[in-house]
Structure 1
Amino acid sequence: MRGTTKRRGNRRVRAALCATVVVCAVTTVLPGVASAESMNVARVASDSGAGVERISVAPDGAQGDGDSTAATITANGRSVAFSSLANNLTPDNPAIRERVYVRDQRMSKTMLMSTPVRPDQPPVISGDGQYVAMWGLWQRDTKSFLSQVSSGSTIGMNCAGLSCSQTSLSADGRYIAQVATFNRPPSRQRIEVRDWRANTTETVYEFDHTVSSRPSISGDGRFVAYQDGKTEDVFVWDRTDDTSAGPIEGPSKAAKLVQISKDGSKIVYLSGSDTYVQDESSGTDQLVPNVRGLAIDPTGRYLLYAPNDTTGPSLVLRDLRTGTDEIVSNQPATAGTDTVSAGGRDVVFHSTADDIVPGDTNGKSDVFVRRFY
């Protein structure tokens, strides 16, 4: 294993993971998308309830008066958390700085999450929609906070004495995987898992550097995929067995983690100009060439990606089982992890384009949901 020591011993996470320390055998190669015409978009046109909706709106349906970005969605697609500079999204919205909101799609209601500081990074909503993790500046450091959606109240600061970032939540919001950085000499960082109910913290791995690293936790909180930003390797830690596996690498011996699916079955990573989806039951990789993977749905079947060819659509959803693609957005748009609901039904994204929905005249970045059925 290059440049990294196992947390304990040299066991693998699961016997089915690849035994070698280089990239697993690629058993399936799916073509990248070259143009919109080649895609299967039948579900959008024919299925009831399909379409695009702007959700960064005021209670009366008016468009937001400030930029809204960085959205994540629950597994059932009901709730979306996002950041916004708009001042008219809720009746009690303070006319100050960027805040975090949760939109309940079923109730057509937007809630302001209370936090004493401004969000510095995208918020993350738990799979069940009960909790939202966010960050904010606290004195000289970046701290992570957890808020309960039903009350809008902040449960607590989950990063004592450090700067914390890159949060990933378990499905029930109990486990918080994050990067904790020690900014004072000697500078270093660690991947950790915080159980806020039990008030305990586990160290997944501690690095002797502060090069960008990040974790992604499975829905049950058992598996933590994480990236070593310095060696450009991806590893997986099994919290139950206390074992690590890896490195997961691309052909270029470099890998960048996207995320682990919430069911723990797939790990998405980037290598070179391509995206790989590793099946954790077989240890094999599925190659999706010439695209940048952005997110995977909780079941591990649907991959959201951005084609490297910028002459076509900006966001595409791929069914990894059938190899078919569906357009999420033809206009310039952006999305991150945890932006696809289970079964690939919904995709949340943000865009400054003014022709995604009718009547978009605010000249701001808005948050949208594309529903496929």
Structure 2
Amino acid sequence: MRGNTNRGITRRVRAALSTAVAVCAVTAVLPAAASAEPAAVAGAASDSGAGVERISVATDGTQGDGDSAGATITADGRRIAFSSSAQNLTSADPVTGERVFVRDRRTSRTVRMLTNTSPIERPVISGDGQYVALWGRLFRDTKTFLSQVSSESTIGINCPGLNCSQPSLSTDGRYIAQAATFNRPATRQRVEVRDWHAGTAETVAEFEHTVSARPSISGDGRFVAYQDGQAQDVLVWDRTDGTTSGPVEGPSKAAELVQLSKDGSKVVYLSGSDTYVHDMGSGTDLLVPGVRGVAIDPTGRYLLYAPHDTSGPSLLLRDLATGTDETVSDRPASAGTDAVSAGGRDVVFHSTADDIVPGDTNGTSDVFVRHYY
């Protein structure tokens, strides 16, 4: 049995959930994969047809001269934020080290988000493409910052502790979920949601440990999925009444959070060598065996995953409604959360392979987007 010492939240829901799981929850296993095309989504960024596009390039198309990775995409697929050490993606760039860039696929313009933190951890872009949250080291500590894409300016986000990290943004960028640690060396942490418009913050959970909490917020800012990394539980907080439900995986699994879909309907988590997609409405789990879930699209229908079997494609996109797969990359590649646009139309990833697109001669890791239709 997993340990549960120093739990920072009330586990009053566990008994009720255990009963519900025993009585009515159904764990389904998706059928074998086949080829299928993701459903159409209105208002997507481009209708240029299926294919792969390199994103880590300058406005004039010049390839980056440094490593690029950590990409996230907007709901409509138009804008992609990524981190890069390349010096030539924007003109007159005196800053060295890793920085955050935003590529607008509609205008083919690449801009750099201003920040004084280094190094930069993986950024995340809001669903509407107006804001980018990032975190990195500032002197001795780690801080979270919010950058406005249109002005390329940085909005400071208050940090209640010495270190703030792991930001997740609502669709309009107003609400930011993050983890904050306290004491030096850090001994405890808090998961919180900040409304930077109102200048207020709400506590989601508190723990007497610093094992990763990894919050993931819904598009409207109502729900926050997070993990108690020490107890290996995944839980969901509802800001309308301040209540916490879960663990969503039930009492018998050790779970690690992947992502909450932006519509708040699905929670993706890992347990053992399998991936589960928890339906918040029915309380049931969909089992996707033998794979590592990476991200889920905003509608909760399309799951990006990496097979444990490395002899085939490195990334695939599964339609959870039909159980069919599309290959994202058959070359070695990686991706993270918020990597799939709405309806599974676009997927961003990074790879060091030099044969994904023509003319890739920089010998570094690049960011790509696969567009399905």
Per the normalisation by structure 2, the TM-score is: 0.91
The answer on 1:180 being equivalent to 2:175 is no
Distance 1:219 1:2, change over 3 A: farther
In structure 2, give the amino acid aligned to 1:79: R
Distance 1:256 1:362, change over 3 A: same
2:344 alignment counterpart: 344
- Separation in 2, partners of 1:24, 1:278: 14
One of 7, 10, 35 as aligned partner of 1:40: 35
1:303 alignment counterpart: 303
The answer on 1:81 being equivalent to 2:81 is yes
- Separation in 1, partners of 2:161, 2:276: 36
Distance 1:251 1:200, change over 3 A: closer
Distance 1:250 1:291, change over 3 A: farther
In structure 2, give the amino acid aligned to 1:275: T
**More deviation, 120-129/178-187:** 178-187
Give 1:165 deviation, angstroms: 0.9
1:333 alignment counterpart: 333
Give a deviation string over 1:264-296, Cα, whole Å, max 9, x none. Answer: 000000000000001111011000000000000
Give a deviation string over 1:214-273, Cα, whole Å, max 9, x none. Answer: 110000000011100000000011000111111122685200000100000000000000
Distance 1:265 1:337, change over 3 A: same
Structure 2 contact 112–152 (Cα < 8 Å) conserved: yes
The answer on 1:132 being equivalent to 2:128 is no
**More deviation, 114-123/343-352:** 114-123
Give 1:156 deviation, angstroms: 1.2
- Separation in 1, partners of 2:352, 2:141: 31
Identity of aligned residues (%): 72
Give 1:115 deviation, angstroms: 0.8
In structure 1, give the amino acid aligned to 2:200: T
Q: Could you say what secondary structure the match of 2:215 adopts?
A: strand
Structure 2 contact 36–324 (Cα < 8 Å) conserved: no
- Separation in 1, partners of 2:364, 2:251: 40
Give 1:157 deviation, angstroms: 3.3
Structure 2 contact 70–123 (Cα < 8 Å) conserved: yes
Per the normalisation by structure 1, the TM-score is: 0.91
- Separation in 2, partners of 1:370, 1:192: 34
**More deviation, 104-113/210-219:** 210-219
Give 1:28 deviation, angstroms: 1.9
Q: Could you say what secondary structure the match of 1:353 adopts?
A: coil
In structure 2, give the amino acid aligned to 1:83: S
Structure 1 contact 41–327 (Cα < 8 Å) conserved: no
Segments of structure 2 that go 5 or more residues without pairing to the other structure are 40-46
1:56 alignment counterpart: 56
Distance 1:160 1:213, change over 3 A: closer
In structure 2, give the amino acid aligned to 1:307: P
**More deviation, 100-109/181-190:** 181-190
Distance 1:118 1:243, change over 3 A: same
- Separation in 2, partners of 1:200, 1:178: 13
Give 1:98 deviation, angstroms: 0.8
Q: Could you say what secondary structure the match of 1:101 adopts?
A: strand
The answer on 1:244 being equivalent to 2:239 is no
Give 1:43 deviation, angstroms: 7.2
- Separation in 2, partners of 1:107, 1:252: 50
Structure 1 contact 252–272 (Cα < 8 Å) conserved: no
Aligned runs of 1:276-315 on 2, under 5 Å? 276-315=276-315
Structure 2 contact 68–83 (Cα < 8 Å) conserved: yes
**More deviation, 56-65/81-90:** 56-65
Distance 1:237 1:151, change over 3 A: same
In structure 2, give the amino acid aligned to 1:105: R
- Separation in 2, partners of 1:43, 1:241: 36
Give 1:182 deviation, angstroms: 1.2
1:203 alignment counterpart: 203
Distance 1:288 1:8, change over 3 A: closer
- Separation in 2, partners of 1:322, 1:370: 21
Distance 1:63 1:228, change over 3 A: same
2:215 alignment counterpart: 215
In structure 2, give the amino acid aligned to 1:232: Q
Q: Could you say what secondary structure the match of 1:247 adopts?
A: coil
2:353 alignment counterpart: 353
Q: Could you say what secondary structure the match of 1:167 adopts?
A: strand
1:255 alignment counterpart: 255
The answer on 1:145 being equivalent to 2:145 is yes
- The total of aligned residue pairs comes to 363
Aligned Cα root-mean-square deviation (Å) = 2.5
In structure 1, give the amino acid aligned to 2:260: I
Give 1:160 deviation, angstroms: 4.4
Structure 2 contact 123–135 (Cα < 8 Å) conserved: yes
1:90 alignment counterpart: 90
1:231 alignment counterpart: 231
Give a deviation string over 1:293-344, Cα, whole Å, max 9, x none. Answer: 0000000000000001110000000000011000000000000000000000
Distance 1:11 1:229, change over 3 A: closer
Structure 1 contact 126–132 (Cα < 8 Å) conserved: yes
Distance 1:73 1:91, change over 3 A: same
Q: Could you say what secondary structure the match of 1:268 adopts?
A: strand
1:36 alignment counterpart: none
- Separation in 2, partners of 1:133, 1:217: 13
Q: Could you say what secondary structure the match of 2:155 adopts?
A: strand
**More deviation, 92-101/299-308:** 92-101
In structure 2, give the amino acid aligned to 1:111: V
